[in-house]
Structure 1
Amino acid sequence: MSARLQKILSQWGIASRRRAEELILAGRVRVNGEVAKLGQTAEPTTDRIEVDGTLIAVQSRPTPVYLLLNKPVGVVSTCYDPQGRPTVIDLLPSQLRECEGIHPVGRLDIDSSGALLLTNDGDLTFRLTHPRHSFSKTYAVWVQGRPTAAVLAAWRNGIDLEGQFTLPARVEVLKQQTDRTLLEIILTEGRNRQIRRVATQLEYPVLYLHRTRIGDISIDGSSQRGRLRQQSLASGCYRHLQPAELHSLQCAGDRLPTAEPLVGKATNL
């Protein structure tokens, strides 16, 4: 059955859906000897599909891998870093590092830590990072100072960032000290470095940002709904997702629109 090229490349672990789009636009993908175009379809069992001159072997589709990683501060959420900084892929054992197409789902910036998904399932990555998704992510955030009730209300209702308001968010005070406050923040959108930008704009800059949960999947082993229970993950460690956890991600993805995306950048928070 024919399918769009970016979908074929993601399903066979060559690249995430967004990365596949970039490869096509850069002229690095050919179908039957011709440079491919974005939106072009192909039949993977009969058409000759090449990436950078290498024929993809659709008969040897890699086994899907789904991991949860507790990313440390100082590690970049990419597969390769031209500056030579450690990447999330470097934290995996060799047998997983060599797994074809494995990549992070979205990003946490280098100064942030916590829950990050890695997979070679490009379709799932595309659905979970679609800009119109409503998949929640939970953060523990230390900010400088003691935000007032008015500031917290504004943060919850939405803040104008470069002409576009953020979606309503859950912002709760967990702990306060003389010069800092620990907040729990739950977002259902993922704009670039959103929490840090909002906190700076409100004049309570972030001191520490740690993502504790993606949907119902937690690095501390707890479940938002009380059903899933796993061992806590130490910083730099990973584990495979359980079937129920994967099902929760797939169900979230099933609620997303099916339209093809525009090429965009991954999100840092």
Structure 2
Amino acid sequence: MADRLQKILSRYGVASRREAEQLILAGRVKLNGAIVTELGTKADPTCDRIEVDNHLIVKETPQILWVLLYKPVGFICTRHDPQGRKTIFDLLPPTYDRLYYVGRLDYNSSGALLLTNDGDRANLLTHPRHHIPKTYEVWVKGQPSQSDLQQWRQGVLLDEKTTLPADVTVLAAQPQQTQLRIVLREGRNRQIRRVAEQLGYPVLALHRVAIASITLGDLRSGSHRLLKPCEIEKLALSHSR
């Protein structure tokens, strides 16, 4: 069945759909020997020859993989870093080099990170309208007042748009710092760090413990595992609600 090239490239784990669009626009994709630069171009991977950077895309139905990685602090979510920093792909087998991450964690954050070659479902999970919950345990400087915590729960103005309501619970309080559990249903860039800074309680440590119902469990920092079929199914249910 014919489908848009960017969707096919995403399905086969070459890149996310947005990244695939950039590959097409850059003239790096060939269809039956001819360079394609139109995003609306369709192809059938069962009979058409599709190449990226002159490498043939395998015609067989791809094996769908979902990987849960426990990202440590000090690794960046990218394939290649111009500054030479360690990337999350340094933690994974070479056979996973064509997976792409679903959402991201910044250099100084740790915790649950999903990678996949399932482009269609990954796009659904990251689409803002589905509000997939992500759970974090965060140490902030100081002791947030009840009024500031309530403001955080109700929404804070960032970039001229109020954040969605968040679940914010105090887990532990010390004289100089407080541990919070925060559940977000949106994923703006460095959202927790920016809100905390704006309220006057800078983040000291940020750790993501769960994405929807997928938790780190006994996974150790820097290690990974494949998701079970039932976990993948739960992800599907998460974005269908």
Higher strand proportion? 2
TM-score by length of 2: 0.94
Could you tell me how far apart the structure 1 residues matched to 2:97 and 2:201 are? 42
Q: Number of matched residues? A: 240
Asked if the contact 2:13/2:100 (under 8 Å) is kept, the reply is no
Q: Identical aligned pairs, as a percentage?
A: 56
Deviation at 1:39, TM superposition (A): 2.7
Deviations along 1:7-55, one digit per CA (max 9) or x if unpaired, are 1111112112221122122222222314231132222223332212223
Q: Whole-Å Cα distance in 2 between the matches of residues 111 and 2 of structure 1?
A: 42
Tell me what 1:37 maps to: 38
Moved beyond 4 Å, runs of 4+: none
Aligned pair 1:160/2:157, yes or no? yes
Query: Does the aligned pair in 1 maintain the 2:138–2:207 contact within 8 Å?
Result: yes
Q: Is the 8 A contact 1:145 1:179 kept in 2?
A: yes
Inter-CA distance 235–130: structure 2 relative to 1 (3 Å threshold): same
Alignment partners' CA distance in 1, 2:57 and 2:109:
36
Distance across 1 between alignment mates of 2:134 and 2:174: 25
Q: C-alpha root-mean-square deviation of aligned residues, in Å?
A: 1.5
Q: How does 1:1-269 map to 2 (within 5 A)?
A: 1-32=1-32, 33-59=34-60, 61-92=61-92, 94=93, 97-99=94-96, 101-219=98-216, 221=217, 232-255=218-241
Q: How much does 1:83 deviate? A: 1.9
Aligned AA for 2:189?
N
- TM-score, normalised by the number of residues in structure 1: 0.84
- How far 1:100 moved relative to its partner? 5.7
Amino acid at match of 2:129: R
Stretches of structure 1 lacking an aligned partner (at least 5 in a row):
222-231, 256-269
Consecutive unaligned residues of structure 2, counting only runs of 5 or more, are none
Q: Kindly indicate whether the alpha-carbon contact (under 8 Å) linking 1:135 and 1:188 is maintained by their aligned counterparts in 2.
A: yes
CA distance in 2, matches of 1:3, 1:43: 6
* 1:85 alignment partner, SS class: coil
Q: Deviations over 1:56-83 (max 9, x none)?
A: 2223x43222111111000111222222
